[in-house]
Amino acid sequence: MKRIDFFGKALGLMILLVAISMTAVAQREKTTFQTAGQWKPATDVRSDVVMVYGANDRPGMTFRERVESWRRRGYTTHFMTGIAWGEYQDYFQGRWDGKPHMDEGQMNMHGDTVMHGTGVPYIVPTENYLKYFKERHIRPVIDAGIDAIFLEEPEFWAFSGYSESFRREWQAYYGFPWRPQHESAENTYLSNKLKYYLYYRALDEAFRYAKEYGRQRGMNVRCYVPTHSLLSYAQILMVSPEASLASLESCDGYIAQVWTGTSREPNYFNGTSRERVFEAAFLEYGCMESMTRPTGRKMFFLTDPIEDRARDWEDYRRNYQATFTAQLLYPQIANYEVMPWPDRIYERLYRVSANSEEMALIPRFYSTQMQVMINALNDMPQATTKVSGSQGISVMMANSLMFQRSPVKVEGYNDPQLSNFYGMALPLVKRGIPVSITHLENCGYADTWRGLKVLVMTYSSMKPLDPEAHQAIAEWVKQGGRLIYCGRDDDPYQTVQEWWNQNGLSYTAPSQHLFELMQMPQQAAGGLYRYGKGSVRVIRQDPKEFVLTAGGDAPLMEAIEEAYGTVKQKNSFYLERGPYVLGAVVDENVTGSEPMRIEGNYIDLFDPKLPCIREKVVQPGEQTFLYDLKKVKNRRRPQVLAAASRQYDESVTRHSYAFTSKSPANTDNVMRILLPREPKRVYADVSSQSNWDAESHTLLLQFENRPDGVCVKIEW
């Protein structure tokens, strides 16, 4: 009996320890990064998690050895690979099943296979390919003990869709022979809709397999989709499942792949096409956040200190600040991929300036600034605070934004740089209005409508995939919502084969169904209509007209003022989340060109010297990231407030503070440390410099980083 009691207690203690350990692991999965390489001193980023990229063995190192190199350094290891492209030559060259499969590459209208790189085609995800993918790239990863899988970038080019494999998928899906997409708007719509479905199916099959195989191994495998925003894909002519993945039980969340490379795509505003990186990033992160807001799926936000295109270090730094600030203006999200591909950031040469051909590694001041920023993400709190400005105004978007995209004009349809979307959103962002995004696919969730006062929508650039969303919109208006509908409803996609003109329905435009539900004329003219406690303002202009000409957004802004009441118009955004302060000022002088002035007692986190300042002036086109010294918790406790490193093994006594500081090799550390009084002795086991700031009670400490750790001890 005693033995049984002892065994029961031991088992209970073991279960408790495992539960505590699992909880700790879950809590540590806040920050992550991706790399195809093994651990190296130069890329020891010190996030919670590393996503080891690609399941193939490399010369001199197996996949398991790559994984183990990171585990030995204390990282939780996850797995990432591409679902639409990757190092899958054994499949295409016939080494897997004895048959070559190059016919399963995406193909353009000229008969050329669309390549991601040498020997790496973009893929039509057939059932046979998925069988290979599960066997060769999911099963071995789970066998290696990986319990989180990230299948990135489910991408089908809008200009592809001509291969034999795609034609077979068309016949199976639609039940009639393939049609060339460039010949009509309907063909384009149907082709892109099929591409959307194929990667929805691919992810569903891959994730269900991963979870089932994991269960057989006694593991809870989680599955995520790293993906560009819907805005990015629609603008660059790609198709991807996007918001529909929220309906997959097997999908646990996303990584929002937003960075300089996606956000610098030019868009139109006030008649001018140019890069608007901060504004585009703000909208991109917004559309990703809104995908998961009603569903509770986990979302990581990504930023990249450089980008795919070769530019100069100052260009990278300036735009990194813009996208970094934009992501932090969504305080509901507090999980981050801090960078992709650290090898190319720390170890590749780029131009030292825009006007020079001289190439250099990342400047020490920039790597210091970058590491301060990413280490702040390890501490970044989720918050309920809101961005400054008039809340409750939203723009509708849907996955079908991608269905009307084509590299050539089809039946005269033209939507330059996705202006039918940006025409609704940019006039608001440029006036400092924190516009949100509402996904048509999420209309059935009650949380979608919480706090929403004014909704702007169009069917000029997208179409509803089912009638149920209209029921939810109509009910929201009936209960007091204010809808602004913009569009001429005369584009050639209005009459594609879809639910509003099939199975007994004969509407010539989907808006007619929505209007009828709200007791409006089906072909309502421009004007104001009442329904229940709410109203509908119809503007018979396509939204692109608001941005393609100077001053063209006046009708939209008048309608918003009418629906919302007085809207606070400004040229800035401001947010506090915990001790962190974010500020951004937009340019183009819509509401003035005054700078933002922030007064208080702060550490400037965009300055690699981490100065303590009393005032920050932010000019139009700039952003700021500050640490508010007045919001430090437990000011009597010594603590590192900001640093270009991550701290471990902290020890506090009555008269001392000690820790170990880790960060990549070949970089400089700067730290701002809060202390109860001026130190008598500052010790680091490398050469260091320190300076005491009596007013803020902080010590500035600087030394060369070491991934193995620098031991610091401060006495007072």
List, for residues 262-300, the tens digit of each pLDDT value.
999 999 999 999 999 999 999 999 999 999 888 889 999
For residue 74 the two structure tokens come to 């204390």
Burial (CB count <10 Å: 0-12, 13-18, 19+), residue 294: buried
pLDDT above 90: residue 536: yes
What value does the mean pLDDT of the chain take? Answer: 94
Q: Which residue is associated with the tokens 């979870």?
A: 211
DSSP letter for 220, please: -
Residue 515's closest CA among 496, 504, 500, 498? 500
Q: What is the pLDDT of residue 245?
A: 85
Pairing of strands 646-652, 612-618: unpaired
**Tell me, what DSSP letter sits at residue 100?**
-
Residue 8 has pLDDT above 60, yes or no: no
pLDDT greater than 70 at residue 673: yes
* Tens digits of residue pLDDT in 136-185: 999 999 999 999 999 999 999 999 999 999 999 999 999 999 999 999 99
pLDDT of residue 7: 31
Beta pairing, strands 393-397 & 454-457: parallel
Domain ranges for the chain: 83-220, 393-564, 572-629, 639-715
Rounded to whole angstroms, the Cα distance separating 439 from 397 reads 5
Distance in angstroms (rounded) separating the CA atoms of residues 42 and 26: 27
Contacts of 110 (CB under 8 A, 6+ apart): none
Dihedral sign from CA coordinates of 672, 677, 678, 679: negative
* Contacts of 200 by beta carbon, 8 Å cutoff, 6+ apart: 241, 244, 245, 248
The pLDDT score that the predictor gives to residue 244 is 86
- Collapse the DSSP code of 454 into the 3-class scheme (helix H, G, I; strand E, B; otherwise coil) and give the result: strand
Looking at residue 491, what is its pLDDT? Answer: 97
Q: Do the beta carbons of residue 575 and residue 331 sit within 8 Å?
A: yes
Q: Which helix (H) or strand (E) holds 25?
A: helix 2-28
Structure token pair of residue 239: 């198709």
pLDDT digits (tens, 9 = 90+) for 495-526: 999 999 999 999 999 999 999 999 999 999 99
The reply to whether CATH 3.40.50 applies to domain 393-564 is yes
Beta-carbon contacts of residue 95 (< 8 Å; ≥ 6 apart): 89
- 104, 124 Cβ separation under 8 angstroms: yes
Which pLDDT belongs to residue 246?
78
Residue 185, both tokens: 């708007």
pLDDT digits (tens, 9 = 90+) for 99-127: 999 999 999 999 999 999 888 999 999 99
What one-letter code names the amino acid at 415? D
Angle at 615 between CA 609 and CA 621, to 5 degrees: 80
Beta bridge partner(s), residue 640 = 673
| Structure tokens belonging to residue 533 | 């406690």
Cα 419–Cα 420–Cα 424 angle in degrees, nearest 5 = 95
- Residue 630 pLDDT greater than 70, yes or no: yes
Answer whether 234's CB lies under 8 Å from 264's CB: no
Q: Three-state DSSP class for 343?
A: helix
- Name the helix (H) or strand (E) containing 639: strand 639-643
3-state secondary structure 357-404: CCEECCCHHHHHHHHHHHHHHCCCCCCCCCCCCCCCEEEEECHHHHCC
Which residue's structure tokens are 């730094």? Answer: 317
Any idea of the CA torsion for 250, 212, 95, 130, to the nearest 10 degrees? Answer: -30
Percent of the chain with pLDDT over 90: 93
State the average pLDDT over residues 1-16: 35
Where do we find the tokens 């179409």? 463
pTM of the model: 0.95
Pairing of strands 120-121, 115-117: antiparallel
Q: Which of 192, 622, 259, 267 is nearest to 424 (CA)?
A: 267
Dist CA 124 CA 84 (whole Å): 8
Distance between CA 347 and CA 351 in Å, rounded? Answer: 13
Residues 611 and 415: their CA atoms lie apart, in Å, by 47
Summarised one tens digit per residue, pLDDT across range 443-489 is 999 999 999 999 999 999 999 999 999 999 999 999 999 999 999 99
Average pLDDT over residues 688-700: 97
pLDDT band at 691 (very low <50, low <70, confident <90, very high): very high
> String of b and e for 132-143 (b: at least 16 CB within 10 Å)?
bbbebbbbbbbe
Topology annotation, domain 639-715: Immunoglobulin-like (2.60.40)
pLDDT tens digits, residue range 292-323? 888 889 999 999 999 999 999 999 999 999 99
pLDDT tens digits for 212-255?
Answer: 999 999 999 999 999 999 999 999 999 999 888 877 889 999 99
Rounded to whole angstroms, the Cα distance separating 374 from 303 reads 10
Say how far apart CA 419 and CA 404 lie, in whole Å.
13
φ/ψ of residue 517, rounded to 5 = -60, -30
Sheet hosting strand 681-684, strand order edge to edge = 646-652, 656-662, 710-715, 681-684
Question: Do the Cβ atoms of 402 and 191 come closer than 8 Å?
Answer: no
Tally Cβ neighbours within 10 Å of residue 34. 23
Length, in residues, of the chain: 716
Question: What percentage of the chain exceeds 70 in pLDDT?
Answer: 96
pLDDT for res 251: 95
The H-or-E segment that residue 567 falls in is none
Q: Which pLDDT value is given to residue 20?
A: 38
d(CA 596, CA 581): 13
Q: Is the pLDDT of residue 2 over 90?
A: no
pLDDT score of 625: 98
Q: What is the phi-psi region of residue 610: left when phi exceeds 0, alpha when psi lies from -120 to 50, beta otherwise?
A: left
SS (H, E, C) 656-701: EEEEEEECCCCCEEEEEEECCCCCCEEEECCCEEEEEECCCCEEEE
Q: Which two three-digit tokens encode residue 425?
A: 């959103």
C-alpha span between 556 and 456 (Å, rounded): 9
Give the other-Cβ count within 10 Å of 503's Cβ. 6
